[in-house]
Structure 1
Amino acid sequence: MTKVAVVYYSGYGHTKLVAENVAEGAQAELIEIDQEGNIPEAAWDTLQAADAIIFGAPTYMGSAPWQFKKFADASSKPWFTRAWQDKVFGGFTNSASLNGDKQVTMIAMQTLAAQHGGIWVSLGQLPANTLASTRDDVNNLGGSAGPLVQSPSDAGADKIPAGDLETVRLYGARVASIAARLK
């Protein structure tokens, strides 16, 4: 069986809901980065055993928050031994704005995966970009590197558009499927 881990940071609960939906699609184990930027020690073993790792973080002020960056920096230990070499990687992000400079966060996640010698999985979904498109459509924000999610700043996670949540579920399944084929 293919093992997938979703490692994420959530500041206000929006990214947690997104991570849960990604994990549902990928049949993955969730690893939450805490408010101090740490993961449980046993989670490093989970990441080591995973065939695929999916990163998740909100986009704050044009990049991932410091807690995700602290995790990324701590991953230098497996980087040094090439422990994650040839693993399948993916990532997702969300912000309150439709754009919100999410692409910068996605590029940072892709770069982290590349530094580990990983294989990045693109979103693989056409954008919903016609006049008839709505926020309930899959990939309505037009991502390609990975899922982009919009979380209204004045509402809870339950107001994340259905199309965004379906996009991330499908992406989780895509990452797991590609990892299974490469295993």
Structure 2
Amino acid sequence: MAQVTVVYHSGYGHTQRVAEAVAEGAGAKLIAISAEGELSDSDWQTLDDSDAIIFGTPTYMGGPSWQFKKFADATSKAWMKQSWKDKIFGGFTNSASLNGDKQSTLNYLQVLASQHGGIWVSLGLLPANTQASTREDINNLGGSVGVLVQSPADAGAEVIPSGDIKTASQYGKRVADITAKFA
């Protein structure tokens, strides 16, 4: 069975909730980037041993958190060894606003995966964009590159719209299914 790992930073618990949904859908391991932007040696080994890596970060000021950026910079060691080449990659992000410039963050994650020689998995879901659509529908924010999630700034992770959580779970399953085809 292919090994999928979700590596994420969560500032306030919202991204952690999304990471859990993605991991549940993928049957994946979870690795949390610390508040200092660090991973343990065993976490780095898990990433090296994984067939697929799914990145997750909140969108702050139009890009990933500084903790995620520190992690991304540290992946240069894996890049030098080409140890992540031909792995399957995916990503997700959330912000308080419906838009919140989340696409910039997903583009950052996709470029990071490409720099490693990885194969990016798109969302693969039609948007919920009819008049009858609600926040409870899958892909209600209309993403295509990866998972977009809206997390209200004045509430905890438990109020993330269920459509966003279902989208995250389905995306995790998609990444795992595609990874299995390559493994």
Aligned to 1:86: 86
TM-score (norm: length of structure 2): 1.00
Q: C-alpha separation between the residues in 1 aligned to 2:145 and 2:26?
A: 17
1:116 counterpart residue number: 116
Shift in Å, 1:40? 1.3
1:26 aligned residue:
26
- CA distance in 1: counterparts of 2:157 and 2:118, whole angstroms: 31
After superposing on structure 2, the runs of 4+ consecutive aligned residues of structure 1 that deviate more than 6 Å are: none
Match of 2:75 in 1: 75
Per the alignment, residue 129 of structure 1 pairs with 129
Alpha-carbon distance between aligned partners in 1 of 2:146 and 2:62, rounded to the nearest angstrom: 16
* Aligned counterpart, 2:142: 142
Counterpart of 1:92 in 2: which secondary structure? strand
Partner of 2:175: 175
Aligned residues: 183
Shift in Å, 1:53: 0.1
Shift of 1:30: 0.2
Partners of 1:40 and 1:96 in 2: CA distance: 30
Aligned partner letter, 1:65 = S
Distance 2:100 2:87 in 1: 29
AA in 1 matched with 2:148:
L
- Write the letter of the residue equivalent to 1:166: K
Q: Supply the AA of the counterpart residue of 1:152.
A: P
**Cα offset, 1:150, TM superposition:** 0.2
Distance 1:37 1:136 in 2: 33
**2:60 corresponds to:** 60
Cα distance in 2 for partners of 1:32, 1:40 equals: 10
**1:119, CA displacement in angstroms?**
0.1
Give the 3-state SS of the residue equivalent to 2:77 in structure 1: helix
Aligned residues with identical type, % of pairs: 66
Secondary structure at 2:60's aligned position in 1? Answer: coil
* Superposition deviation, residue 39 in structure 1: 1.0
**Aligned partner of 1:151: which letter?**
S
- Structure 2: gaps of 5 or more residues: none
Task: Quote the Cα distance in structure 2 between the aligned partners of 1:25 and 1:92.
Answer: 13
Residue deviations 1:79-118 (CA, integer Å, cap 9, x gap)? 0010000000000000000000000000000000000000
Q: Please tell me the root mean square deviation across aligned C-alpha atoms, in Å.
A: 0.4
Supply the distance in 2 between the matched residues of 1:150 and 1:129 (Cα, whole angstroms): 16
Shift of 1:41: 1.2
